[in-house]
Amino acid sequence: MSRLRTAAALTAAAALLLTGCASGSSPQSTASGEAGAASDSFPVTITHALGETTIEAKPERVATISWGNQDVALALGVVPVGMDTQVWAWSGTAKPGVYEWTSDKLDELGADLPPLFDATDGVDFEAISDTAPDVILAAQSGLSEEDYETLSGIAPVVAYPGIPWFTPWRDQITLNAEGLGLKAEGEALVADLEKQIADATADAGFAGKSAAFFYMSPADLSKVSLYTGGDSRTAFLHDLGFDLPQVAVDAADAGSFYLDFSAENADQLADVDVIVTYGDETLLPALQADPLWSTLPAVKKGAVVAVGEGDAYSAAVSPTALSIPWVLDQYVADLKDAAAKVQ
């Protein structure tokens, strides 16, 4: 699957790692008293792409899997008893661990790091079962029906609402929050993040300009991959105020989360004003030296933002409840520099 390694690795890239745990030697989910006081009544039934999940009582032990679901719990004051590790799966070199926005929140909550589930080869059912969860949050995930059935034998599962890995960050928050009995708090969290985004982009100059997120490698520019409008990375650019190129919108409508483009078809991306991509400072010179990619207006003007690959910055642009405020100022500043080069 071109340089995106494999579909699983791509979703891990969209997913990356983070996490939290309850303090003490036997981690348990904890919620702030304020949040608990406003909790929803139970039972709660959540309809999702894989069926219906009924949670009979307010969960005390919360496990999270896949990308960003642990950040929702933590942002709402709930420390998971276990969560997926994804840093290693994405970078291939880093030790399993957590990114800074999650670590900071754990510190704020006075919590230790909980057990990390090894997601390298798929869902770690045994490790999840060992944490004895009351609910498993997976609103942003790629669970198969078989995965879902197996997990449901452990605890009720909050799965994705439509297409695997296509859950917008707002829906990820509201679905997981409902599963925790914190629906109102989840809605308030979404509103707060939307205000932060609006404030950060108030004078950014993104309106009327298009942007999309790519995977490109200066070592091999024979093909690049574009994440479509259904993928969280490109969708977040729309949240920040950019238009999306029509090809990204159409592919998302068809259920695709990425498209490959050969260099011979570079002209099909001519309507992308700002290119955002994994990579480093070597990428733009390589694109500008390429006889085909150099014909793109964004490349000619230098309207290319490289966000690294496998580090915290590149992880944070896959938006979560905690990564958005962590990355927002830097990301908007870099995008403003690129957008300023577009006439």
Single-letter amino acid, residue 181: G
CA–CA distance, 103 with 70 (Å, rounded to integer):
11
Helix (H) or strand (E) holding 46, with range, is strand 44-48
Q: What is the pLDDT, as a whole number, of residue 39?
A: 52
Does position 8 have pLDDT exceeding 60, yes or no? no
Cβ(148)–Cβ(51) below 8 Å: yes
pLDDT at 91 (0 to 100): 55
Give the separation between CA 13 and CA 228, rounded to whole angstroms.
15
pLDDT of residue 35: 38
Phi, psi of 121 (to 5 degrees): -110, 25
Per-residue model confidence (pLDDT) at position 1 = 35
Hey, what are 127's tokens? Answer: 């490790």
Cα–Cα distance measured from residue 97 to residue 56, given in angstroms and rounded to the nearest whole number: 32
Quick: pLDDT tens for 135-186: 999 999 999 999 999 999 999 999 999 999 999 999 999 999 999 999 999 9
CA distances to 97, 111, 119, 148 from 28, in Å: 19, 10, 21, 23
Q: Are 106 and 34 in contact (CB under 8 A)?
A: no
Percentage of the chain modeled with pLDDT above 90: 77
pLDDT at 238 over 80: yes
How confident is the model at residue 286, as a pLDDT? 97
On whether the 2-199 domain is CATH 3.40.50.11720, my answer is no
Structure tokens at 275: 């290119």
Closest CA to 99 of 189, 6, 175, 17: 17
Please tell me the predicted confidence (pLDDT) of residue 152: 98
- The string of pLDDT tens digits covering residues 87-146 is 655 555 566 788 899 999 999 999 999 999 988 889 999 999 999 999 999 999 999 999
Looking at the predicted structure, is the pLDDT value of residue 334 above 60? yes
Residue 259, both tokens: 């498209």
Rounded mean pLDDT, 255-263: 90
pLDDT, mean of residues 2-9: 36
What pLDDT score does 68 carry? Answer: 95
Phi-psi region of 280 (alpha: psi -120 to 50; beta: other; left: phi over 0): beta
DSSP bridge partners of 259 = 226
What fold is seen in the domain 211-339? Rossmann fold (3.40.50)
Instruction: Indicate if the pLDDT at residue 237 is higher than 70.
Output: yes
In DSSP terms, 38 is beta-bridged to none
Residues of the chain with CATH 3.40.50.1980: 2-199, 211-339
The Cα 181–Cα 178 span in angstroms is 5
Alpha helices in 254-322 (DSSP H): 283-289, 297-301, 312-316
Whose tokens are 């927002």? That residue is 328
Q: Name which residue leads in pLDDT, 108 or 252.
A: 108
For residues 299-312, give the mean pLDDT. Answer: 94
pTM reported for the whole predicted model: 0.88
Banded model confidence at residue 24, pLDDT cuts 50, 70, 90: very low
Is residue 20 scored above 50 in pLDDT? no
What residue type is assigned to position 306 of the chain? Answer: A
- The residues, any chain, with a CB within 8 Å of residue 309's CB and separated by 6 or more, are 91, 278, 279, 280
3-state DSSP helix/strand/coil % of the chain, to nearest 5: 40, 15, 40
Residue 310: the pLDDT is: 82
Coil, strand or helix at 128:
helix
Dihedral angle computed from the Cα positions of residues 26, 27, 29 and 30, in that order, rounded to the nearest 10 degrees: 90
Give the residue ranges of DSSP H helices in 131-257: 145-152, 169-179, 183-200, 232-239, 246-253
Average pLDDT of the chain, as a whole number: 88
Q: Which of 110, 128, 108 is CA-nearest to residue 118?
A: 128
Q: Give the per-residue SS3 of 69-127.
A: HHHHHHHCCCCCCEEEECHHHHHCCCCCCCCHHHHHHHHHCCCCCCCEEECCCCCCHHH
